[in-house]
């Protein structure tokens, strides 16, 4: 992947002209049992994106999501919970800045709590609302009040069907597509396998059953093969939503 922070102005201008996908990895820091690191949800995203190479530009990742303390308390577990209400203005400010810079192919990718992505959870909802709000404000500022009602917008719905409308400028995606044939869990077989494939140095299987957590009961069934299968599912999904050729 190409790191946004390492690009010079002419390279950024070329990326804008080419409509290259600009991607924000979104994660949380949260307890994932005794055998996995706190950054599982972020690492799953950043490491998969890395496999897309120079087809995308990646923004510095956002790691401080609304983890909650539903899994474990805050003391010594690695869980850092930031309220979604604090995330919202930061996310809106970032998206506003990207739109002002000229980018129109902006994406966020998240893995935390995305099993019910249709309904949403605090972190992804904060970024989704921020994206919509940033677009609405940018359109009104650049096109003026009543922009949508102008006769020039009479093809709006046809454009929307072709994914060419302004609300496609910023989109937030789960790492895995809906109905993916891969186990979705928390520090169980699925996430453990992903870390074995993506960040093996962070996994300590000897500690997989420490703590006697119900959600890590099947972690010992994780395999590198399963993890690589999950990576390929995620890659295919992201290539599709980013509009990249396989």
* pLDDT single digits (tens) 107-148: 999 999 999 999 999 999 999 999 999 999 999 999 999 988
Residue 163 has pLDDT above 80, yes or no: no
What does the angle CA 99 – CA 96 – CA 147 come to, to the nearest 5 degrees? 70
- Distance, in Å, from the CA atom of 46 to the CA atom of 25, rounded to the nearest integer, reads 6
Strand ranges of the sheet holding 22-26, from the earlier edge strand across to the other edge: 2-3, 57-58, 22-26, 106-110, 170-174
- Distance, in Å, from the CA atom of 142 to the CA atom of 138, rounded to the nearest integer, reads 6
- Distance, in Å, from the CA atom of 150 to the CA atom of 138, rounded to the nearest integer, reads 16
* pLDDT single digits (tens) 21-78: 999 999 999 999 999 999 999 999 999 999 999 999 999 999 999 999 999 999 999 9
Q: Decide if 15 contacts 22 (C-beta within 8 A).
A: yes
Residue 162 has pLDDT above 70, yes or no: no
- Distance, in Å, from the CA atom of 148 to the CA atom of 232, rounded to the nearest integer, reads 40
- Distance, in Å, from the CA atom of 201 to the CA atom of 134, rounded to the nearest integer, reads 39
Put simply, whether the predicted model's pTM sits higher than 0.85 gets the answer yes
Structure token digits, residue 187: 């520090």
pLDDT at 197: 98
* pLDDT single digits (tens) 193-233: 999 999 999 999 999 999 999 999 999 999 999 999 999 99
């Amino acid at each position: 992947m190409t790191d946004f922070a390492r690009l010079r102005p002419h390279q950024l201008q070329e990326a804008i002209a080419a409509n290259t996908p600009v991607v924000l990895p979104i994660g949380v820091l949260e307890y994932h049992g005794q055998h996995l690191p706190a950054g599982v949800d972020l690492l799953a995203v950043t490491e998969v994106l890395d496999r897309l190479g120079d087809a995308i530009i990646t923004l510095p990742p956002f790691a401080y999501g609304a983890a909650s303390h539903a899994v474990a308390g805050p003391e010594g577990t690695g869980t850092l919970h930031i309220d979604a209400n604090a995330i919202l203005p930061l996310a809106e400010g970032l998206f506003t800045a990207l739109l002002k810079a000229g980018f129109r192919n902006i994406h966020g990718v998240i893995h935390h709590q995305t099993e019910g992505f249709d309904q949403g959870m605090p972190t992804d909802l904060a970024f989704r609302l921020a994206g919509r709000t940033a677009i609405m404000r940018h359109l009104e500022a650049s096109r003026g009040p009543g922009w949508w009602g102008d006769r020039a917008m009479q093809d709006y719905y046809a454009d929307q069907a072709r994914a060419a409308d302004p609300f496609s400028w910023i989109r937030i995606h789960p790492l895995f597509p809906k109905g993916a044939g891969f186990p979705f869990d928390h520090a169980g077989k699925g996430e453990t396998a992903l870390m074995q494939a993506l960040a093996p140095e962070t996994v300590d299987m000897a500690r997989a059953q420490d703590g006697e957590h119900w959600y890590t009961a099947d972690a010992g069934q994780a395999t590198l093969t399963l993890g690589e299968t999950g990576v390929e599912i995620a890659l295919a999904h992201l290539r599709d939503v980013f509009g990249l050729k396989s």
